[in-house]
Amino acid sequence: MSESLNIAVIPGDGIGPEVIAEAVKVLKKATEAEPVKLVLTDYKLGAEHWLRTGETLPEETLEALRSHDAILFGAVGAAPGDTRIPSGLIEREMLLKLRFALDHFVNLRPSRLYPGVPSPLAEPGDIDFIVVREGTEGPYVGNGGALRVGTEHEIATEVSVNTAHGVRRVVRDAFRRANDRPRKKVTLVHKHNVLVHAGHLWRRTVEEIATEFPEVTHDYLHIDAATIFMTTNPSRFDVIVTDNLFGDILTDQAGAITGGIGLAASGNINMDRTAPSMFEPVHGSAPDIAGQQKADPTAAILSVALLLDHVGLSKAARRVELAVETDIASRDELTDERATSEIGDAIAAALS
């Protein structure tokens, strides 16, 4: 009588398989008591897979992925020095292709400074905000080109594409999330004084959607000013909504001030549920420490919490978050030399 929960698992490259092993451990444990039958299907994709097969993301794999309820993703990418792999190929032809093909228009990235975690900021204050990054438009659309490449007359362009459809749905999502949070505040980050056309679309859309949420306040920051506040007063942020590129930049900075992207989780979410959403740590494949059980699986495990939320198992999601919190509170960053699997074990144990 239990419904099945079909999760596609893409461990990927580098530390991806190690952190995903722990995320799966926690996912299994967290859903034990739930009325669902967890079905996990592994997909081999990434730089290693490309080297072996020449495949980035075959059509059949993409179609197969569509049949799952959600995707748990580790990390992809070759070692920086590996010249066998054209730079950025896996990122574009696989990771970004998934985000675009599955219409992951909400790239959700929560940032919280957990009690006990040292921040590189001298006075971090109370950091607890989410970034709602647009995931299917902006400068990420691959809409550029080059002329006379390699000559002194070369010209290379990159086009940021922004549509009312794309901006509206992500801004509405940000206001909805803000409405559910105690502080109920949305900050639009853009650079509308320079990027006039895109900027005005974003601003007008925020003004328009704001009327649907009378309890939510909103303000605006240029991206350059936002990086200043992220340094001097990050507790001013509640919900940030921004485009694909600005969101990429801000969420890495947000990861840094909250103790490193080893703790930063993310969801690539299709809020219309026309395709499965995908949950992944913000960090990359970190080839330098791969295979050594040195990676912190916390970001992958927190991504499981976002996944559980998305598939409607909010109680299980809260339990995972709480278990992570408990584990983090017991850590001594300076002396914590636990292996990846030991951290996973500890968080799984804290679940019950």
From the list 13, 191, 243, 327, the catalytic residue is 191
Stretch that binds a copy of itself, among 252-260, 269-277, 323-331, 333-341 (CB under 8 A): 252-260
Q: Which of 43, 103, 140, 243 is catalytic?
A: 140
Q: Which of 66, 97, 183, 192 binds a copy of itself (CB under 8 A)?
A: 192
Instruction: For a copy of itself, give the closer residue by CB, 62 or 141.
Output: 141
Tell me how many residues contact a copy of itself (CB under 8 A): 68
**DSSP codes joined into one string, 50-67:** HHHH--SS-HHHHHHHHT
Identified catalytic residue from 224, 272, 315, 336: 224
305 binding partner (options a copy of itself, ligand IPM, none; Cβ < 5 to 8 Å by kind)? none
Q: For residue 230, which of 145, 325, 124 has the smallest C-alpha distance? A: 124
Write each residue from 210 to 239 as x if it is in contact with a copy of itself (CB under 8 A), else as -, in one continuous string: -------------xxx-xx-xxx-------
Q: Locate 301 and state its tokens.
A: 């495990």
Our CB check for ligand IPM shows the closer of 31 and 270 to be: 270
Residue 191 annotated as catalytic: yes
What angle do the packed helices 164-179 and 196-210 form, to 10 degrees?
A: 40
Tokens coding 160 = 């940021």
State yes or no: is 44 an active-site residue: no
Q: Which residues of 188-220 are buried (b: 16+ CB within 10 A; e: fewer)?
A: bbbbbeebeebbebbeebbeebbeebeebebeb
Q: Determine which residue in the list 21, 85, 121, 346 makes contact with a copy of itself, applying CB under 8 A.
A: 121
The residues facing 221 across adjacent strands are 189
- Which token pair is 94? 């696989």
Are 161 and 137 spatial neighbours (Cβ–Cβ below 8 Å)? yes
Which of these, 348, 292, 252, 301, lies nearest to 32 by C-alpha position? 348
Q: Is 334 in the site for a copy of itself (CB under 8 A)?
A: no
Per the annotation, the verdict on 252 as an active-site residue is: yes
Task: Point out which residues bind ligand IPM (CB under 6 A).
Answer: 91, 95-96, 193-194, 224, 248, 282
Three-state DSSP state, 132: strand
Kindly state the tokens that stand for 34.
């739930």
Q: Is 79 in the site for a copy of itself (CB under 8 A)?
A: no
* Member of 55, 91, 93, 325 binding a copy of itself (CB under 8 A): 91
Question: Counting contacts by CB under 8 A, is residue 126 touching a copy of itself?
Answer: no
Identity (one letter) of the amino acid at 163? T
Distance separating alpha carbons of residues 30 and 25, to the nearest angstrom: 9
Contacts with a copy of itself, residue ranges (CB under 8 A) = 87-88, 91-92, 96, 118-123, 139-140, 142, 144-146, 148-165, 168, 191-201, 204, 223-225, 227-228, 230-232, 245, 248-253, 255-257, 260-261
Supply the residues annotated as catalytic: 140, 191, 224, 248, 252
